[in-house]
Amino acid sequence: MKKSKLTCILLVTAVLCFSFTGCSRNSGEEASSEEIQTDYSSEENSIPDNMVSQAETAPAPEETPSAQQQARDLTGLKLSILGDSISTFDGYIPTDYNIFYPGHGEITTVENTWWFQVLTATGMELNANASSSNTTISGDSNDTTGSAPGCSFKRINDLTPGDDGPAPDVLIVFMGTNDFLRSVELGSFTAPEAQQEGEVTNFCDAYELMIQKLAASFPNAQIYFCTLLETNAGDVDDNPQGFPATNEKGNTIADFNAEIATIASAYNYPVIDVHNCGITYDTLGQYTGDGVHPNTEGAKLIGDYITHALLY
């Protein structure tokens, strides 16, 4: 089922790309006659409902909902997560993935991870956790190992359990910190454009390729994209204690978050501004164990923030 679904991704990606802005293909690529003759206005080839919803940045959890605002009922919905070490926990991710918690971090029980707290608070059920430590969004999209990047077929496939598991109802993407820490070329996004498979070396192209694959694979899912937390670790400049931290390319977390928000919004997906959850550059010592990975207190801030964004 997965294989047949993903063989159609390039065609579906083109449908999505042309439907949004009529964007041009990469230079040198010619559309096939079959693609040209496709009727994108037909019901069969229409853009999925979740792709035309209003994109917005979720409000901060401290904003108290009004008396008229009622929480959405998410009980029983299936949640999948695409993430890095911050979202791992041994026994809850694929066996070939890289584990961070509990062996290397300060979160020792799964109930204290941010995502398990979201499940508990919303009544959702875990569908699949495709989070692998030390992974980036950018990289070889054809990689099939447990260290494959977020833009790969491997990581998208693993958002459903087993070989023929159910698709998620809700999907949260929370990764990109390792791209910043490794000083991956940020790139720039201007408008939707069909991205090519292979070695994707800049963050913006890889993030867009990932979104295109998610949209094609899970057209009926509610997909949320998270901004990144501050960090004071990794390849920072000559003043690592100064805010904001910059990587070797001179980029900041804010630079990466701006591109995440821009790309997701261009595809009409909501952005959860986790960067605003309460973990600041000055409180990294309180809420993380190493300037990157949340401790129990930090995970609670993240879990509460994302829960609020999903419910309201």
Q: Is the pLDDT of residue 14 over 90?
A: no
The CA distance from 293 to 291, in Å, is 6
Confidence class for position 49, pLDDT limits 50, 70, 90? very low
Smallest CA-to-CA distance from 212 within 27, 34, 18 is with 18
3-state secondary structure 233-261: CCCCCCCCCCCCCECCCCCEHHHHHHHHH
CB 30 within 8 A of CB 9: no
Task: Please provide the average confidence, as pLDDT, over all residues in the chain.
Answer: 84
pLDDT at 9: 45
2-311 maps to CATH 3.40.50.1110: yes
**Looking at residues 46-69, what average pLDDT do you find?**
50
Percent over 70 (pLDDT), the chain: 76
**Encoded tokens for 297:** 């207190």
At residue 276, the pLDDT reads: 98
Q: Does the N-terminal peptide bond of residue 270 adopt cis geometry, omega within 30 degrees of 0?
A: no
pLDDT at 213 over 90: yes
* Token pair 């026994």 in the structure block, residue: 91
* Cα 268 from Cα 134, distance rounded (Å): 29
Which 3-state string (H, E, C) describes the chain? CHHHHHCCHHHHHHHHHHHHHCCCCCCCCCCCHHHHHCCCCCCCCCCCHHHCCCCCECCCCCCCCCCCCCCCCCCCCEEEEEECHHHCCCCCCCCCCCCCCCCCCCCCCHHHCHHHHHHHHHCCEEEEEEECCCCCCCEECCCCCCCCCCCCHHHHHCCCCCCCCCCCCEEEEECCHHHHHCCCECCCCCCCCCCCCCEECEHHHHHHHHHHHHHHHCCCCEEEEECCCCCCCCCCCCCCCCCCCECCCCCEHHHHHHHHHHHHHHCCCCEECHHHCCCCHHHHHHHECCCCCECHHHHHHHHHHHHHHHHC
Q: What is the pLDDT of residues 234-287, one digit of tens each?
A: 555 555 557 888 999 999 999 999 999 999 999 999 999 999 999 999 999 999
Q: Is the pLDDT of residue 28 over 90?
A: no
- Mean pLDDT for the stretch of residues 302-309: 99
Contact 130, 115 (CB under 8 A): no
pLDDT tens profile 110-163: 999 999 999 999 999 999 999 999 999 999 999 999 999 999 999 999 999 998
Dihedral Cα 265, 270, 271, 277, nearest 10 deg: 160
pLDDT band at 38 (very low <50, low <70, confident <90, very high): very low
